[in-house]
Structures are given as structure tokens and as C-alpha cells.
Structure 1
Amino acid sequence: MVIQEPIKVLLIDDQPMISEAIRRMLAPEKDIIFRYCQDPTETLKVAKEYQPTVILQDLVMPEIDGLLLVRFLRSKDSPTRLIPLIVLSSKEEPVIKAKAFGFGANDYLVKLPDRVELIARIRYHSKAYLNFLKRTEAEERLKAENLRQSKYIKQVEKVTVAAAAVENDTFEPESLEEVAARSDELGRLARVFRHMVQTVKAREQELTQANETLETLKNSFARFFPFEYLNFLHKENVIHVQLGDHVSKEMAVMFSDIRSFTTISESMTPKENFDFVNAYLKRVSPEIRNHDGFIVKFLGDGMMAIFPDGADDAVCAGIAKLKKVHQYNQKREAKGYLPIQVGIGIHYGHMMVGMVGETFRMQGDAFSDNVNLTARLEGLTKFYGVSLLISQQTLDKLSNRNHYQIRFIDRAIVKGRNEPLAIYEVLDGDTEAVRELKLKTQLDFEQGLECYCTQGFDKALKYFNHVLMVNPLDKTAALYVERINQLIAQGVPQNWDGVWRFTKK
């Protein structure tokens, strides 16, 4: 069953009784919808909203001349210029009728017309208008389809031209970019064709550049397996390195990473994360080599490095790294970024450094409880709010400890160990302002520690609070204030020896 589109009549007349009469004439017709506009100045507004299929218009109205309104409705820019217009007027003069038709009226009836004739004319003009709209829509669809077919043929020609270009060795993958973007069979053909050609070309290039690639790979290995590591393992080049090759001796080991990196990374895209980490690592990593060490492996935003020749190399490298970080922070702050904080832990002891993995995949690593201890030491930098921590063993191996500015921090048992570890902070890598404040308060800090260890908590609080008055950002002093208050409130455990026990990494 075909559903006919409704006929929509718009009457423009200043007399409501005429509207009522027309409405009654049309009321029995179920497919005709009637709308009345009494104010001719509102015609365009009502027509835009109602979208009539035919307009009935009076010629005699007080607000506007009827013939002028006809011209207005038929003007070039009027949205009603194509809608059938039937003049419904009491004037019968031929001259008036001629002017109305001349201005664009489609029909002319003297009111009130016969009902049957009015309905017949309304239907005739409305259906003609609706057919015109359908015909226009069909023409637009046909035009669009012709355009689509023309474009399709042109894109088929592009594939044909591309095939000839392959034969002449002049094919450019970009020439099929538009065709490959299609979602139909032609697009799939273009994508497969382009991929096939690119694959063949890639294989040809691989074959012709095999020797160059081999040399390039050989040189590239040095970036993944540094020359310093080869020397350490007493190997001439990387092809002589075997799984299990190692050196076992006392060495200094360093762990470092960026404080609160997870928080920083959450505000960045994956690319920004990689760019940020690499920008940091390329600034600080050279300082490891500059002080006769080598990086065993990168740990995301951090690294593990070995210094085979002594503790001084490791400590100097740590200080140099922190200075590079300060320079980097100046550039970051100049660009509106927040500065970063770095934690470094250094320990000295016996360890094995060498190659681990399996036949087809191996990497450098270090094994020893001392390595694990260094990782714990680096983690404590965040807890104490400092940048560079060293162990007692590292301090003992320094050639001249007076060459550095060092303050004792704590005696602690880290998670996974039973023996206490003496921990020291190296101040040389701090900014000048921070270092000066710590040196200025160092005597009070040391006296506070002495009172703390002998359970003189009241005096210890006095000393540490004095430190915080001068240097409110000294997190270690604030930590001792918190500990002392906790011991006072909860009581000192039996056999308390001043050693703090960490239960978390």
C-alpha cells in the first residue's frame, strides 16, 4: 500500500471569516492539511516553518499590497519562489489577473470559489509541486551517482597507470593513496597491489644493501653493548661475548631513577613519555662513562651502573648527574614545566657482573645481595627526601672522604635484610641554596641525632625543630620529629637501639 504525501495548504488573508470558510471546504479531505496566516508580514516565517505544497493568497489586505506580496513570494531569494501560488481575490478585472500572473502566480480564483473547483486546483498544483520535488531529488541522486561512477572510472585508471609504472620502475605508493582509502573491492585491490609492490621493493633493497646493513648493525651493537662493557669482560668485540661471561669482584654499584615518575607520566601521551625519559637519560648517562663506569641496564626512567675501579668514581658520577639534572630543570622551568627530582643510591661490595639470558637473547646484569641492597638504598632517597645516599661501605672506600660534603642520615634495616645499614647523604650534588642550608644546620642535625640515639627525645626535638626553623624543607629532620613524637606517644620498645626497620621497599 502506497502512502500518499499530505497536501499542505497555507492561506494568507486578513479576514478570519474567509479562513473559516476555506477550512470548512477542506475539512472533509483527509489528505489535505490547512494552515491560516492572518498577518501577511509573517508569510515567510510561517511558510518556512509549515512547508506548504500550495499557497492561497488574497490581493486586498490592509498591511500590504497584494500584488507586491506576490512579487515578494516569487522573488529570486525567497524560499517560496517555487511553491504553487493561487491568488484568491474578490477582484475580477482582467488587468489585475494579468498582473498577478505576470508576477508569478500559478492560478487565480475569485472568492469564494466553488468547493469542488478549489479542491481540484489545490490537488492539481500540489501534486505537480510534489512531483517536481521528487523529480529534482531524483535528478540530484542521478547526478551524484554519475559523479561517483566517473570518480570510480578515474580511480580504476589510476590502478592501471600504477601497474604500468611498476613495469617501468617508476611506481610511487602515494599515487594510490586516494584509491586505497576506499572501503570497496577497488580499495582492497589498491591496498593489496600497493603492499605487494612495496614488499617486493623492500626485498630488493634488502638484498642490494645487505653488506651495508651488516656493517651498520655491527656499529649499532656498540650502543646496546658499550665498549666499556667489552673491556670489562676482556672481549675484543661483541661477537665474542658468550652467555655466562662474567667478572666477580668488589665494585661500586649505582641505582637511580626519577622521583614520582608515575605521577608525571600520567599527564603525558606515550610519545611524550618516551621523549621525556630519553631527554633525561641522554643528559645524565654520559656522566657514567665520564667517570669510568658503564650502564648495565636501563630500568625505565632509571638505570643500574657499575664502577669497577672504586667508590670515588661512583660518587663523583652521582654528583655530576645531579648537576646535569639541575641544568635540565632550568630549561624545563623556562618552558613552563615542573622541575624533576632524582634519587641515587650507591653501595660498594662484592658482586658478579656478566651476561644472562638464553642462547638467542641475553643481556648484561649484576648478581649479589649487594646489588639488591643498592636498589633498596636508592628507594630510601624518597623516604628521606634527599637526592644522593651512600652506604657505610661506600664511605669507607672513598680515597678522601673530606673531599665531599657528607652528613650521617640514619641507621636502618631495609626490607629483606637483618643487619643495620649506616646511611649517609652526599650534599655536593644539591643546588647551592639547598646545600648551604643543610651545612648551616648540620651541627644541630648531628646533635639531634646523638640525642635521638641516646633516647634524649626532648633535646632531640629541640635540635631538629631548630633545623626546620632554618630549613623548613629538610624532610629528614621532619621525619625525625615525627619518629620522636611517635616514640613519645607509643613508648620506646624494649631493647630499642635507634635502628629504624623498614617493612616496605
Structure 2
Amino acid sequence: MNLKRSTANPCTQSPEDAELTKLRIANEALQADNDDLQSLVEIVTEHSTILENALEDQNREMADYIEQVKTITAAAITVQNDTFHPNSLTTTASRSDELGNLAQVFSETVQSVKRQEQKLVEANAHLSALLEAYSRFIPPEYLTFLQRDSILDIQLGDHVSKEMAIMFSDIRSFTTLSEQMTPQENFDFVNAYLRRVSPEIRKHNGFIVKYLGDGMMAVFPDGVDDALQAGIAKVRQIRTYNQHRQTEGHPPLEVGIGLHAGHMMVGMVGESNRMQADAVSDNVNLTARLEGLTKYYGVSFLISEDVILKLNHPEKYSVRLLDRIIVKGRQEPITIYEVLDVEVETVRRLKLETLPMYQQGRHFYHDGDWSKAEACFEAVLQINPNDKTVQLYLERIQQLTQQAMLQPWNGVWAFTQK
């Protein structure tokens, strides 16, 4: 009997062993994969940390960059508000990138502009001071008159030609007064006088063309009413000044004012390196003669008939006809008047009271009836013995009655001297 042994083949695995083997292999593979995954996680984690740190650094840099940009923007606003300070960009300007370069250029540019602005401010201040100083020589009213915006626009020969009122004034017996003073006292005296009377010209729409030592020449482009009122105001200012002088023991001042109206040219005369304002016309010369005649007639304010005829409201003023004359250098006679409004009240009242007798005497004088004229003038002196004009007429009558007339008498007195 043959017995068969059930013996396993060592080269053949059982299904269980094969499964175990597959599991073991799979487990090893899974372990290997796990190890790889762990390595990958570690690598990713490491790179993520690096990237995160890099991003954080970049964010910080970006935030700092944005803050520096804001700093420059804020600096630009301070420039607009004129409160910029260079130190506000010191940190930004220290950067080595384009933003730092921008901040540095911005700061330097602003500071350069500020320096230029300061120079311009100083230059403008200097120019304003110069213009203010020049305005003392060429007043703004004169620039307006010549239709110029600035003294820089003034040219030699600039002028205006039109009918205007012109005034000359002077201090009586100034030479006698000045002989009693030192040169410094003379300057102080003249300036003290002009400082008080000059503003009255401006107040009445006139301007002073030039000073003539202790006197002045002024024009009134808008009419004779302004000029007449200015002359009256000047004399009143002098009376106030005389009160001050008398308290200091000084003698009172007397002035002579001549006023005329006519066509004239007012402008700049001289040469390219030296020019000044002036008025040119025969009427200018005539006005200067009228001012000189105030002393002759013993009056303060003498005006021509042209002024009377051009007044808008002649009834507002008290005047007295003085004479009909021919001044030296002219052929045509003119009629002249004294302005009584400038006299002190007592003198004004006496002249108005004797005006009818005075006018009657003038009538006889004009007709050549010397005896009747003399009687009228004598009657005036009985009431007002200080009337120098009447005294003058009596002296003339004596002279006229003693000389032979070469020509028929027409009542016009011709002056042979200025």
C-alpha cells in the first residue's frame, strides 16, 4: 500500500503568505510615501515660512514706503500752506531708492524757491520804499494827471495841455526873516511852514508842481473853485500857525497868493539825466506877477477876473475889485480882485463897510476926475485908515495930477517893473 504525504512545496506560497507579503510591501511603500510626504510637508513648511517672512518683510517695506509717500504728500500740502520745514523730509531723503532721491530733490527745490521768494519779497519791499520815496518828488496826483501808472513810466516831455487854475504863493519879507536865522533854522522854518500849508492843496484836488524856496507853484486841473478854496484854507492855516509862533516870541507871517486861470502845459522838463515837473505858459508868468503884486496892494490873496468869470458859485465869496493893470511883459490889460474871505473879521468888515465909497472912488479914478476920487478915498481912510490899496490910490492921484499925460487916460495902470 502506497501512502502519499501531504507536504507543502517550499517554493510555493500559500495565499495567506502572499497576502501578507503584499500587505507588507504595501505598508513599506506606504511608509516610504509617508516619509516622502513628511519630507514634502517639511519642505513646504520651510518654504512657506521663508515666503511668509519675505512677504512680511515686503509688506513692512511697502507700508514704510507708503508712509514715506504720505510724508512727501503732506510736505507738499505744507508748501501750499507756507508751513513747510526741511526737517520733515530728513528720514525720507536718507533712503537710497528713487523715493529718497525724490524727497531730497523736492526739499532742495522748495528751499531754493523759498530763498528766491525771500529775495523777491526783499526786492519788492525795497522797490515799494523807493516808489514811496519817489512819490515825495513826483506825487501820485501828478502821475494821475499825466496818465501814468508809475514813476517808472515818466518820460521827458510828458505833459498835459489844457485850461487850468494856477497858484503862486510866497512868504512876505522872507529875506528879512532869514537874515535873523542860521541856515539850519532857515530850513526848519521853511519846512515847518510848508508842512502846514501844502496839505491844503491836496485837499482841494490840486497838486504842487514845485517848491520855490519858501513859496510854491500849484495847479488845479478841475477848476478855479478848488483853487480859490485852497487859497482861503492856506491863509487860515497860516493864521493858526501864527498863534503858535507868537507864543514862542516869533513875529507873525504874512503871505501873498496869486491865482489865475488859463490854458497852459504842465509836464516834465529838463534833460534825460535830470528832469522835473514844471508849468509852461504866458499864463504861468502872469500868475507869478499877480503873486508879486499882493505886497504892492497890501493884500493877501489876489485873483484875476478870469477866475471870477469861471467860478461855479461866485456869490459864495467876498471880493473887491483892486485895479485894471498891465503887468510888465504883457500888452493886454487885466482886471484884478482881492479875496476878502481871507482877511481877519475886523478888516473884512471894514472893507465891506467902505466898499460903496471905495467903488465910487474907483469910478472917478477911472474917469480921471481926480478931485472927486480923492474925496471918496479920503472918506474910506476915515473909517479904515489901514487900507493900503486906498493909500496907494491917493499916492497915484498925487502923481497923476503933477505929470502931463502923454496919452488919454483910460484908467489902466501899467507896471514897468516885475
TM-score, normalising length: structure 1? 0.58
Would you tell me which structure has more helix in proportion to its own residues?
2
Alignment of 1:339-418 (within 5 A): 339-418=252-331
Indicate yes or no: 2:344 matched with 1:452.
Answer: no
Residues 84-141 of structure 1, C-alpha deviations (whole Å, 9 max, x = no match): xxxxxxxxxxxxxxxxxxxxxxxxxxxxxxxxxxxxxxxxxxxxxxxxxxxxxxxxxx
Whole-angstrom CA distance in 2 between matches of 1:423 and 1:370: 14
Deviation at 1:211, TM superposition (A): 6.6
Q: 1:247 aligns with which of 142, 160, 165?
A: 160
Whole-angstrom CA distance in 2 between matches of 1:480 and 1:346: 23
Residues 356-387 of structure 1, C-alpha deviations (whole Å, 9 max, x = no match): 11112111001100000100111110110101
Indicate yes or no: 2:396 matched with 1:483.
Answer: yes
Q: 2:172 aligns with which of 249, 259, 265?
A: 259
Residues 158-180 of structure 1, C-alpha deviations (whole Å, 9 max, x = no match): xxxxxxxxxxxxxxxxxxxxxxx
Supply the AA of the counterpart residue of 1:230: L
What SS does structure 2 have at the residue aligned with 1:389? strand
Alignment of 1:291-370 (within 5 A): 291-370=204-283
Supply the AA of the counterpart residue of 2:274: R
Whole-angstrom CA distance in 2 between matches of 1:245 and 1:214: 23
Whole-angstrom CA distance in 1 between matches of 2:278 and 2:407: 42
Structure 2 partner of 1:428: 341
Supply the AA of the counterpart residue of 1:359: S
Whole-angstrom CA distance in 1 between matches of 2:243 and 2:135: 32
Question: Given that residues 368 and 409 in structure 2 are in contact (C-alpha distance below 8 angstroms), is that contact kept between their aligned partners in structure 1?
Answer: no
Whole-angstrom CA distance in 2 between matches of 1:463 and 1:493: 26
Residues 365-417 of structure 1, C-alpha deviations (whole Å, 9 max, x = no match): 01100000100111110110101111111111001211100110000000000
What SS does structure 2 have at the residue aligned with 1:224? coil
Deviation at 1:212, TM superposition (A): 5.0
Whole-angstrom CA distance in 1 between matches of 2:392 and 2:305: 21
Deviation at 1:230, TM superposition (A): 0.7
Supply the AA of the counterpart residue of 1:461: E
Question: Larger relative CO (CA 8 A, sep 6+): 1 or 2?
Answer: 2
Deviation at 1:279, TM superposition (A): 0.7
Structure 2 partner of 1:499: 412
Whole-angstrom CA distance in 2 between matches of 1:492 and 1:462: 22
Residues 137-167 of structure 1, C-alpha deviations (whole Å, 9 max, x = no match): xxxxxxxxxxxxxxxxxxxxxxxxxxxxxxx
Whole-angstrom CA distance in 1 between matches of 2:346 and 2:241: 17
What SS does structure 1 have at the residue aligned with 2:250? coil
Structure 2 partner of 1:216: 129
Structure 1 partner of 2:332: 419
TM-score, normalising length: structure 2? 0.70
Whole-angstrom CA distance in 1 between matches of 2:366 and 2:163: 32
What SS does structure 2 have at the residue aligned with 1:285? helix
Supply the AA of the counterpart residue of 2:264: M
What SS does structure 1 have at the residue aligned with 2:342? coil
Q: 1:230 aligns with which of 143, 146, 157?
A: 143
What SS does structure 2 have at the residue aligned with 1:464? helix
Whole-angstrom CA distance in 1 between matches of 2:394 and 2:375: 9
Supply the AA of the counterpart residue of 1:388: F
Structure 2 partner of 1:441: 354
More deviation, 212-221/307-316? 212-221
Supply the AA of the counterpart residue of 1:302: G
Question: Given that residues 326 and 412 in structure 2 are in contact (C-alpha distance below 8 angstroms), is that contact kept between their aligned partners in structure 1?
Answer: yes
Assess, with a 3 A threshold, how the Cα gap between structure 1 residues 368 and 488 changes in structure 2: closer, same or farther.
same
Deviation at 1:214, TM superposition (A): 3.8
Question: Given that residues 329 and 339 in structure 1 are in contact (C-alpha distance below 8 angstroms), is that contact kept between their aligned partners in structure 2?
Answer: yes
Alignment of 1:9-408 (within 5 A): 212-408=125-321
What SS does structure 2 have at the residue aligned with 1:436? helix
Supply the AA of the counterpart residue of 1:425: E
Between structure 1 and structure 2, the one with the greater Rg is 2
What SS does structure 2 have at the residue aligned with 1:435? helix
Unaligned regions of 5+ residues in structure 1, if any?
1-208
Supply the AA of the counterpart residue of 1:330: Q
Deviation at 1:470, TM superposition (A): 1.4
Deviation at 1:262, TM superposition (A): 0.6
Supply the AA of the counterpart residue of 2:367: T
Structure 1 partner of 2:47: none
Supply the AA of the counterpart residue of 1:368: S
Whole-angstrom CA distance in 2 between matches of 1:334 and 1:490: 49
What SS does structure 2 have at the residue aligned with 1:428? helix
Deviation at 1:352, TM superposition (A): 0.4
Whole-angstrom CA distance in 1 between matches of 2:411 and 2:262: 25
Structure 1 partner of 2:71: none
Question: Given that residues 326 and 431 in structure 1 are in contact (C-alpha distance below 8 angstroms), is that contact kept between their aligned partners in structure 2?
Answer: no
Question: Given that residues 256 and 304 in structure 1 are in contact (C-alpha distance below 8 angstroms), is that contact kept between their aligned partners in structure 2?
Answer: yes
Supply the AA of the counterpart residue of 2:299: V
Supply the AA of the counterpart residue of 2:147: H
Q: 2:387 aligns with which of 470, 474, 483?
A: 474
Supply the AA of the counterpart residue of 1:243: L
